Structure 1
Amino acid sequence: MNETFSVRLRRLRERKGLSRRALSELCGLSKNMIAVYERGEADPSTETICQLANLFGVSADYLLGRIKNF
């Protein structure tokens, strides 16, 4: 089973040692929106996916769970 966006986002954030607040400041989203994404309650826009992928140095396909390796 593929990992979901929410799982990968949380894992990448934690690996970088970022709090939700720190990540939200880096990408211009609210801390609450990061939490919503990590709980899988909403899907991010294409722009946000690309921004997060760039921030973490991974592909959008990896972030979306479409491929196993970044």
Structure 2
Amino acid sequence: MDNFAKRLLQLREHKGISNQVIADLLNVQIRVVQRYIKGETTPPLEKAVILADYFNVSLDYLVGRSNDPTRH
């Protein structure tokens, strides 16, 4: 599992939401989110920004470039 997939799964579980909630947020089908979480694909930048905003973390944290989730 790549860094993005791992972080997305952790954030989703920490927030206690389903894949469907993320799919609705991103306006994609649930199977797309499942592929993100399995590490089969990554979202385009505009979707990653939406996720970072939703989870209130930096993009660097979301993609594994930083272990500090806070936004700077």
TM-score by length of 2: 0.88
SS at match of 1:24: helix
Aligned residues: 68
Tell me the equivalent position of 2:52: 53
Partner of 1:8: 7
Look up the equivalent residue of 2:27 and give its one-letter code: G
> What secondary structure is seen at the aligned counterpart in 1 of 2:52?
helix
Q: Which aligned runs of 4 or more in structure 1 are off by greater than 2 angstroms?
A: none
Extract unaligned runs of 5+ from structure 2. none
RMSD of equivalent CA atoms: 1.1
Question: Which structure 1 segments of 5+ residues have no match?
Answer: none
TM-score by length of 1: 0.90
Larger RCO, structure (CA 8 Å, separation 6 or more)? 1
Matches within 5 A, 1:1-70: 4-70=3-69
Q: CA deviation at 1:9?
A: 0.3
